[in-house]
């Protein structure tokens, strides 16, 4: 059982379909499928004791209510959106629509139940996330050496006439993507792996990993430290550093073994040093080529985020209550662009939207981005004020659970991920890792009040 649990957890992070025809088929759908498999496995384990599991979940009633209210907001937003199908399920590759949010909720609920009934299963899943992070690190390092290797069946092949775009539709400036859609998402997997691995290296929870040798987490730390340097994205670097600093402070306050803390920090520092040397030897100036940006000044320094945030605020003003639907920033951009051209928006794909002009001609236009690159603005533009309040309640009740359970390491993970979401976004492949950690590490036994 433990092997299956670890395998499914690892696949939920790194699953991809090399022969897929679209970004969604290659990087999005396989991870959603793996996450579904992980949840079905949890449910199968709980089924023989389902009544006990349900009674245990009574201790998490406030959190469950808030999650259900948020899911209702997601549904209402999709139904009220002018583009319902896309608004309900979101962009296929990022996959943060109704399906993924519902899966994350089920993962959280089943993890709460397993924490009391079968905690060893959670230990196996944690190891699986570590394995997934290790595999992702290896993929990033391979692509750092050769950014044309996207690991698909068309790996290494550029679009005819282009020196920037691979046949898989990935641009070279987005590499290394690891086994995700973008290097920013690969960075999210790596910093979460680092933060989880760091805590397990300095003070592993006996409830979760009592049978796991420390060498595994040291290997994970080293590989992820080397690989995260290669993604050349500031947010994952800042998040990793902040999470590790927070966990170090918590470890010192908890009077954990000083030698273990020093060893873990030394491994991370050594890995980063090796990563920098490796990046220089591979020629970052060549592999970090970017597309021309119209941004200037502070906006250029923020990689165009200020422009995205301004557009998101304008979109929120148009539909403040329930927003535009899942991944609503892309829907809002398509709607505004079609109006600007005096055309009617007929349908939306993952990367293009299709309009009809007055002469009956169909036009395909690219969607610049599907996210505002800020968690508050993305929730607002997607699900409106209703969705933001509901999701805020989910977070607040989770923090309440942290306080009750005294599982302070979760704060290090939440701080790291919160900083990442200031300039990035949730996506399938790493969103569930955060919520799994928050639920697995903040378990509260309603019978005796202990973790």
What residues have CB less than 8 Å from 49, skipping those under 6 apart?
A: 117
Residue 391 · residue 70 · CB < 8 Å: yes
Q: Could you write out the DSSP letters of every residue in 83-137?
A: SHHHHHH--TTT--SHHHHHHHHHHHHHHHHHHHH-HHHHHHHHHHHHHHHHHHH
Distance CA 231, CA 177 (A): 8
pLDDT in tens, the chain (451 residues): 889 999 999 999 999 999 998 889 999 999 999 999 999 999 999 999 999 999 999 999 999 999 999 999 999 999 999 888 789 989 888 989 999 999 999 999 999 999 989 998 998 999 999 999 999 999 999 999 999 999 999 999 999 988 889 999 898 888 899 999 889 999 999 999 999 999 888 875 544 555 456 789 899 999 999 999 999 899 999 999 999 999 999 888 888 888 889 999 999 999 999 999 988 776 554 444 443 444 555 555 556 899 999 999 999 999 999 999 999 999 999 999 998 888 888 888 888 899 988 888 899 999 989 999 999 999 999 999 999 999 999 999 999 988 887 777 888 899 999 999 999 999 999 999 999 999 998 764 333 333 3
CB count, 10 Å around CB of 446?
13
The residue with tokens 């250029």 is 300
Two structure tokens written together for 167: 């046949």
Q: How far is CA 10 from the centre of its chain?
A: 14
Residue 46 · residue 119 · CB < 8 Å: no
Distance CA 349, CA 368 (A): 12
Query: Under DSSP, is residue 42 helix (H, G, I), strand (E, B) or coil?
Result: helix
Q: Could you write out the DSSP letters of every residue in 357-376?
A: -TTS-EEEEE-S-S--SSHH
| Ranges of each domain in the chain | 2-294+388-440, 297-366
Q: How far is CA 238 from the centre of its chain?
A: 16
Distance CA 127, CA 48 (A): 25
Predicted TM-score (pTM) above 0.85: yes
Q: How far is CA 262 from the centre of its chain?
A: 29
Strands 362-366 and 344-348, bridge-based pairing:
unpaired
What residues have CB less than 8 Å from 324, skipping those under 6 apart?
A: 77, 81, 83, 87, 315, 331, 332, 335, 381, 382
């Amino acid at each position: 059982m433990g092997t299956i649990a670890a395998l499914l957890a690892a696949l939920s992070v790194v699953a991809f379909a090399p022969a897929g025809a679209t970004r969604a088929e290659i990087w999005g759908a396989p991870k959603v499928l793996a996450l579904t498999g992980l949840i079905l496995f949890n449910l199968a384990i709980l089924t023989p004791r389902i009544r006990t599991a349900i009674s245990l979940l009574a201790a998490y009633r406030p959190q469950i209510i808030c999650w259900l209210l948020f899911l209702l907001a997601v549904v209402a937003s999709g139904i009220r959106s002018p583009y319902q199908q896309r608004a309900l399920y979101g962009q296929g590759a990022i996959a943060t629509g109704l399906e993924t949010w519902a899966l994350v909720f089920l993962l959280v609920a089943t993890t709460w139940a397993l924490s009391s009934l079968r905690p060893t299963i959670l230990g196996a899943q944690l190891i699986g996330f570590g394995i997934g992070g290790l595999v992702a690190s290896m993929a990033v390092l391979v692509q750092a050496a050769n950014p044309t290797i996207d690991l698909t069946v068309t790996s290494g092949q550029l679009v005819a006439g282009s020196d920037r775009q691979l046949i898989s539709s990935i641009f070279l400036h987005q590499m290394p993507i690891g086994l995700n859609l973008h290097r920013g998402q690969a960075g999210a997997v790596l910093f979460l792996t680092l933060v989880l691995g760091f805590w397990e290296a300095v003070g592993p929870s006996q409830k979760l990993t009592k049978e796991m040798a420390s060498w595994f987490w040291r290997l994970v730390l080293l590989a992820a430290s080397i690989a995260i340097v290669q993604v050349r994205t500031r947010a994952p670097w800042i998040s990793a550093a902040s999470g590790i600093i927070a966990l170090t402070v918590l470890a010192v306050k908890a009077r954990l073994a000083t030698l273990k803390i020093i060893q873990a920090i030394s491994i991370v520092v050594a890995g980063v040093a090796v990563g920098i040397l490796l990046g220089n030897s591979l020629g970052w100036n060549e592999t970090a080529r970017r597309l021309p940006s119209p941004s200037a000044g502070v906006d250029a320094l923020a990689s165009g985020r200020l422009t995205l945030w301004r557009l998101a605020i304008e979109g929120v003003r148009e539909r403040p209550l329930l927003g535009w639907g899942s991944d609503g920033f892309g829907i809002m951009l398509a709607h505004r662009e079609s109006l600007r051209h005096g055309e009617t928006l007929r349908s939306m794909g993952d990367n293009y939207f299709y309009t009809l002009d007055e002469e009956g001609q169909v036009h395909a236009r690219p969607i610049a981005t599907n996210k505002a690159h800020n968690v508050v603005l993305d929730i607002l533009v997607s699900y409106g004020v209703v969705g933001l309040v509901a999701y805020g309640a989910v977070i607040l009740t989770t923090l309440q659970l942290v306080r009750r359970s005294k599982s302070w390491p979760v704060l290090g993970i939440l701080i790291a991920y919160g900083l990442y979401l200031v300039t990035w976004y949730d996506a399938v492949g790493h969103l569930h890792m955060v919520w799994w950690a928050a639920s697995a590490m903040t378990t509260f036994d309603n019978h005796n009040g202990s973790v």
